[in-house]
Amino acid sequence: MIKVSDKLSLHDNELHFDFIRASGPGGQNVNKVATAVQLRFNIAASASLSEDIKVRLKKIAGKKITDNGVLIIEARRFRSQQKNRHDAIDRLIKLITKAENVPQKRIKTKPPKSAKEKRLQDKQHRSKIKQGRTADPSSFE
């Protein structure tokens, strides 16, 4: 069991790990050992998540989701397979925690009357300044 929050935990059988060879530094070791981790989590088939969390998770994850609804997280930051595995799980937990939070709906507000009046006064003041810049054609005669 992987604990996401107080109310939510994931079963180990919902996560599928693939180990691949990582790119980057590592010397000869990088060619021999598959240290990078690809974590696959099928959002649609998950029994641990509620429907509204699944919808928000799909929206948050964006390009990390395949057409089949499988979330893929690649971790290749560390040279150790175990550290990369923990890193991938931590990133999945962060995504799910973010999806757990229900966004607050925006309450529309109107600007106060004083703000409208001040805006109109500022416009009139700016207009007078600009009118003062124009030359009167009759003054050139």
The top-level CATH class assigned to 2-100 is alpha beta
93 neighbors 2 (Cβ within 8 angstroms):
yes
Residue 124: what pLDDT?
Answer: 94
Return d(Cα 31, Cα 21) in angstroms, integer.
Answer: 7
pLDDT at 25 over 90: no
Tell me, what's the pLDDT at 139? 59
Per-domain residue ranges of the chain = 2-100
137 has pLDDT over 70: no
Could you tell me which residues come within 8 angstroms of residue 35 by beta carbon, excluding any fewer than 6 positions away? 19, 21, 22, 26, 29, 76, 78, 79, 80, 81, 84
Which of 6 and 115 is assigned the larger pLDDT?
115
DSSP-derived secondary structure for 48-79? SS-HHHHHHHHHHHGGGB-TTSEEEEEE-SSS
Instruction: Indicate the pLDDT class of residue 35, thresholds 50, 70 and 90.
Output: confident
Tens digit of each residue's pLDDT (9 = 90 or more) over 69-117 = 788 888 877 777 788 888 888 888 888 888 887 878 889 889 899 999 9
CA 96 to CA 89: how far, in whole Å?
11
- Which pLDDT tens digit goes with each residue over 37-69? 888 888 777 777 777 878 887 888 777 777 777
Instruction: Compute the radius of gyration of the chain from its Cα atoms.
Output: 29
Report residue 68 as tokens: 């089949």
User: In this structure, are residues 48 and 2 in contact, taking their beta carbons and an 8 Å threshold?
Assistant: no
pLDDT top residue among 51 and 125: 125
